[in-house]
Amino acid sequence: MLAEPRTWQLDVAAVQDLTPRMRRVQLTSPDLDRFDYLAGQDMALTFRRGDAPPVRRRYTIRHFHPDQRRLDLDFVLHGDGPGMRWAQAARPGESIEVVGPRGKITLVREAAWHLFAGDATAVPGALAMLEALPGDVPAVAFLQVDGPEERQAVAGDRAQQITWHFEVPAPNPDTGLAAVLAGALLPPGRAHAYLAGEVALVTALKATLLSRGWSPEDISAKAYWNRGRANAGHGEPELKAS
């Protein structure tokens, strides 16, 4: 059962660079002893901009450490959005308003196996859900990042189930992540897919699975951003993945 989102006032506890372009910000509060969530859910952070109206951006929960009352949120350091700027400047002791947990895309427990695919913005959610799966449930992941230095460790034996695809400066549709997914050897049985990232990529990944005979109800697709276009004030892309 999904927990009802609520507003939290959280403090930055620590900041860590996981890779050259992925920064982890740990948030804490004594109130987090009442926190509960499902892997794949996110938190909406409120960024204030002087006299301009505040904007919210959503970040998937990477870890929750109940004994420390700490949340790990991972930020891709690309572009010039309010979330990236905040993560770059974040220092321990600073405070931020957060709403969550939010989001209905979580693990479908009845699936025989699970598939994850997306760009760098999909990595925190994909790894969080991979780690939350029972050890005997198969899974595969196809994750597109800038280069080998952007690969991340994952708990347990799941690392061997991840195919890291490295983006080239001028993406070629014949060699991109959708093409990798189109030619991949996948496990048998009815699965559930979780697709996330840039609008056009998510649309292409979904179309690839549909062309392979997947049913739409077995695909959860979420676009996090639009290339060349800012997200709306509530944190969603202006264009939606279809």
One domain, residues 98 and 31? yes
One domain, residues 122 and 205? yes
> Domain range holding 74?
6-102
Q: Does residue 133 sit within a domain? A: yes
One domain, residues 62 and 131? no
Q: DSSP string covering 55-78, please?
A: EEEEEEEEEEETTTTEEEEEEE--
Contact 117, 212 (CB under 8 A): no
Q: What pLDDT does residue 238 have?
A: 44
Q: What pLDDT does residue 51 have?
A: 87
Q: What CATH number is attached to the domain comprising 175? A: 3.40.50.80
In the predicted model, is pLDDT for residue 229 greater than 70?
no
One domain, residues 130 and 78? no
One domain, residues 205 and 150? yes
Q: DSSP string covering the chain, please?
A: -PPPPEEEEEEEEEEEEEETTEEEEEEE-GGGGG----TT-EEEEEEEETTEEEEEEEEEEEEEETTTTEEEEEEE--TT-HHHHHHHH--TT-EEEEEEEE-S----TT-SEEEEEE-GGGHHHHHHHHHHS-TTS-EEEEEEESSGGG----STTGGGGEEEEEPPSS--TTTSHHHHHHH----SS-EEEEEEEEHHHHHHHHHHHHHTT--GGGEEEEEEEBTTBPPPTTSS-SS---
Q: What pLDDT does residue 231 have?
A: 54
**Tally of structural domains, the chain:** 2
List beta partners, residue 144: 165
One domain, residues 117 and 92? no
pTM for this prediction:
0.92
Q: Which two tokens stand for residue 198?
A: 């840039």
One domain, residues 121 and 216? yes
- In tens, the pLDDT along 13-36 reads 999 999 999 999 999 999 999 999
One domain, residues 98 and 125? no
One domain, residues 123 and 84? no
In the predicted model, is pLDDT for residue 168 greater than 90?
no
Q: What pLDDT does residue 158 have?
A: 92
pLDDT (mean) for 100-117: 96
- In tens, the pLDDT along 49-86 reads 888 899 999 999 999 999 999 999 999 998 788 999 99
Q: Does residue 240 sit within a domain? A: no
